């Protein structure tokens, strides 16, 4: 599919539906990059000295960049984001039964809005570790059949008909059949993945809502989709990198998409890892530069950490800072927090405001109410791990961390245009 077609809200829907897990986000982005002249590199290989378009994948994280037409000390312009979204994940001993029902043991990943996962037809995706002789291979798997459902309690059985408290241990197991015959869920997934059941040595499996993403509203000016936090940024950031590679400026455009943001980023491939700084250094070293040149390059570089932002909710306007209302289809959002839950300082704000101006899109400025705890993102982590000047930005949405979220259709293009302008600043 040509990038011009993808660079709209329908393209985002296609992207999200293709990407039920962080591993599938990386596969989808890899496919888009490969189709536009990018070459995959592996960390275990030595990297080519020639300028070019490259990317690498580490688990559920991906970094892509282009050095075409650029000297080896050109500073970096980085767009960051995260590939993971809150969901329900499969336990290590998933096979359960209760009251004549066959169940799959599930538990929440990240800050999932648990009520939104009830009464939905759920598929399964993720990856398997599979024995191949004396080695272990990774295999992506997805099952887009409605095999699981977490059923809600009938209102007549609740104590006050006002809803129930959801206990993450007891109330989130998925129904996948009836009867007393013991069934192996992992054997079922292995069968769908076309690998022998006894060859499966490990798994990271998660549920996804099977209802397809859609443009909604009479004007179709809204996107209803799962995982907009933060595949909205993964999609817009990928479009921005493709545009920057086509129209190089004097900075190296980089896209850095991390796994594990929703659980604190502390992993081999999360924003707390060495992934970004290692790749940036290898970009300079691989082209014949030294450590001194790398550090010089870093000092002139800047990162826009992209994550979704809270639009002002029409039914709860009092939950928002009164003078900082955020509209969907109102343009990208600059996120500022005095206590550094967001990394934005005035220098970063200036760089992103200038990019929005150059892209011809409006900029909105978000501040969380001072009497509510503010969420965070990879921005402060990336800034403290790398020393890069960092600005937190995003696109507006409702229902963050619901299994189904809502954003503005026109914001998709505005967001990717702003990120593209950020990656290729004009003098
Ligand atoms: Zn997020």
Interval 210-253: pLDDT, tens: 999 999 999 999 999 999 999 999 999 999 999 999 999 899 99
- C-alpha of residue 377 to centroid of ligand 1, in Å: 6
Residue 101: how many other CB atoms lie within 10 Å: 15
3-state SS, 246-285, equals HCCCCCEEEEEEECCHHHCCCCCCCCCCCHHHHHHHHHHH
State the alpha helices, DSSP H only, in 1-146: 3-6, 9-17, 22-34
The larger pLDDT score, comparing residue 6 to residue 142, is at 142
Residue 5 pLDDT class (50, 70, 90 cuts):
very low
Q: What is the DSSP string of 371-419?
A: TSPPP--HHHHHHHHH--EEEEEE-EEESTTSSSEEEEHHHHHHHHHHH
**What average pLDDT does the segment 396-413 reach?**
97
Q: Whole-number mean pLDDT of the chain? A: 94
Give the domain-ending residue among 209, 244, 269: 209
Same domain for 367 and 246, yes or no, is yes
Residue 374 pLDDT class (50, 70, 90 cuts):
confident
- C-alpha of residue 394 to centroid of ligand 1, in Å: 9
The token pair that represents 31 in the structure block: 């496919």
Same domain for 136 and 285, yes or no, is no
Domain harbouring 128, CATH code: 2.30.250.10
The answer, yes or no, to whether residue 427 has pLDDT greater than 70, is no
Phi, psi of 62 (to 5 degrees): -145, 140
Please report whether residue 28 resides in a domain: yes
Same domain for 109 and 143, yes or no, is yes
- C-alpha of residue 406 to centroid of ligand 1, in Å: 14
**What average pLDDT does the segment 154-178 reach?**
90
Question: Tens of pLDDT along 39-77?
Answer: 999 999 999 999 999 999 999 999 999 999 998 889 999
CB 26 within 8 A of CB 61: yes
- C-alpha of residue 174 to centroid of ligand 1, in Å: 25
Give the domain-ending residue among 174, 209, 244: 209
CB 168 within 8 A of CB 142: no
Angle between helices 409-423 and 9-17 (to 10 degrees): 90
**What average pLDDT does the segment 78-102 reach?**
97
The answer, yes or no, to whether residue 3 has pLDDT greater than 90, is no
- C-alpha of residue 229 to centroid of ligand 1, in Å: 5
- C-alpha of residue 399 to centroid of ligand 1, in Å: 12
Same domain for 47 and 119, yes or no, is no
Tell me the percentage of the chain whose pLDDT exceeds 90: 85
Domain range holding 341?
Answer: 3-85+226-423
The token pair that represents 272 in the structure block: 């707390």
Same domain for 374 and 255, yes or no, is yes
* Cα separations in angstroms, 376 against 67, 309, 336, 380: 31, 11, 11, 8
Please report whether residue 284 resides in a domain: yes
Tracing tokens 């928002």 back to the chain, one arrives at 320
The token pair that represents 126 in the structure block: 């993720």
Query: How many domains is the chain partitioned into structurally?
Result: 2
In terms of Cβ atoms closer than 10 Å to its own Cβ (0-12, 13-18, 19+), residue 123 is middle
Same domain for 132 and 176, yes or no, is yes
Same domain for 45 and 92, yes or no, is no
- C-alpha of residue 296 to centroid of ligand 1, in Å: 31
The larger pLDDT score, comparing residue 225 to residue 165, is at 225
**What average pLDDT does the segment 311-338 reach?**
94
Residue 4 pLDDT class (50, 70, 90 cuts):
very low
Please report whether residue 214 resides in a domain: no
Domain harbouring 310, CATH code: 3.40.630.10
Same domain for 76 and 151, yes or no, is no
Same domain for 160 and 235, yes or no, is no
Same domain for 343 and 382, yes or no, is yes
The answer, yes or no, to whether residue 7 has pLDDT greater than 80, is no
Query: Cα(281)–Cα(297) distance, rounded to whole angstroms?
Result: 9
- C-alpha of residue 230 to centroid of ligand 1, in Å: 5
Same domain for 234 and 256, yes or no, is yes
Phi, psi of 415 (to 5 degrees): -65, -45
Same domain for 270 and 367, yes or no, is yes
Question: Tens of pLDDT along 326-348?
Answer: 999 999 999 999 888 998 899 99
Please report whether residue 319 resides in a domain: yes
Please report whether residue 221 resides in a domain: no
Helix or strand (DSSP H, E) at 358: helix 346-359
The token pair that represents 409 in the structure block: 């259709």
Please report whether residue 215 resides in a domain: no
**What average pLDDT does the segment 345-353 reach?**
94
Query: Cα(197)–Cα(258) distance, rounded to whole angstroms?
Result: 30
- C-alpha of residue 401 to centroid of ligand 1, in Å: 8
- C-alpha of residue 263 to centroid of ligand 1, in Å: 10
Please report whether residue 11 resides in a domain: yes
* DSSP E strand stretches across 46-134: 53-58, 61-66, 76-82, 87-98, 101-109, 122-132
- C-alpha of residue 407 to centroid of ligand 1, in Å: 14
Residue 192 pLDDT class (50, 70, 90 cuts):
very high
Query: Cα(89)–Cα(23) distance, rounded to whole angstroms?
Result: 14
Question: Tens of pLDDT along 263-288?
Answer: 999 999 999 999 999 999 999 999 99
Residue 1 pLDDT class (50, 70, 90 cuts):
very low
Please report whether residue 253 resides in a domain: yes
């Amino acid at each position: 599919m040509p990038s011009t077609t993808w660079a709209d809200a329908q393209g985002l829907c296609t992207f999200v539906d293709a990407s039920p897990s962080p591993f599938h986000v990386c596969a989808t982005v890899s496919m888009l990059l490969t189709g536009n002249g990018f070459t995959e590199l592996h960390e275990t290989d030595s990297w080519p000295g020639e300028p070019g378009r490259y990317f690498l994948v580490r688990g559920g994280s991906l970094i892509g960049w282009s050095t075409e037409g650029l000297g080896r000390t050109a500073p970096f312009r980085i767009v960051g984001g995260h590939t993971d979204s809150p969901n329900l994940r499969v336990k290590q001993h998933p096979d359960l039964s209760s009251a004549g029902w066959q169940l799959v043991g599930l538990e929440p990943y990240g800050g999932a809005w648990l009520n939104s996962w009830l009464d939905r037809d759920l598929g399964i995706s993720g990856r398997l570790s599979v024995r191949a002789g004396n080695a272990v291979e990774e295999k992506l798997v997805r099952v887009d059949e409605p095999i699981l459902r977490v059923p809600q309690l009938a209102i007549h059985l609740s104590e006050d008909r006002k809803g129930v408290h959801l206990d993450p241990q007891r109330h989130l197991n998925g129904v996948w059949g009836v009867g007393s015959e013991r069934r192996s869920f992992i054997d079922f997934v292995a069968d769908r993945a076309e690998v022998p059941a006894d060859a499966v040595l490990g798994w990271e499996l998660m549920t996804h809502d099977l209802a397809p993403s859609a443009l909604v509203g009479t004007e179709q000016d809204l996107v209803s989709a799962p995982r907009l936090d933060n595949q909205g940024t993964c999609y817009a950031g990928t479009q921005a990198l493709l545009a920057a590679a086509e129209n190089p400026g004097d900075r190296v455009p980089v896209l850095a998409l991390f796994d594990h943001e929703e659980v604190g980023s502390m992993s081999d491939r999360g924003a707390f890892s060495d992934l970004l700084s290692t790749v940036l250094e290898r970009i300079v070293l691989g082209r014949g530069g030294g450590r001194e040149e790398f550090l010089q390059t870093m000092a002139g570089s800047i990162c826009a950490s992209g994550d979704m932002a809270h639009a002002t909710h029409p039914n709860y306007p009092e939950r928002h800072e009164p003078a900082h209302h955020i509209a969907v289809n109102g343009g990208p959002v600059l996120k500022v927090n005095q206590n550094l839950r967001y990394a934005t300082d005035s220098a970063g704000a200036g760089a992103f405001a200038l990019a929005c101006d150059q892209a011809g899109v409006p900029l909105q400025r978000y501040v969380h109410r001072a009497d509510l705890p503010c969420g965070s993102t990879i921005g402060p982590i990336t800034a403290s791990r790398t020393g890069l000047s960092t600005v937190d930005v995003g696109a507006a949405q409702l229902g963050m961390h619901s299994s189904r979220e809502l954003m503005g259709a026109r914001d998709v293009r505005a967001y990717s245009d702003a990120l593209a302008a950020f990656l290729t600043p004009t003098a």
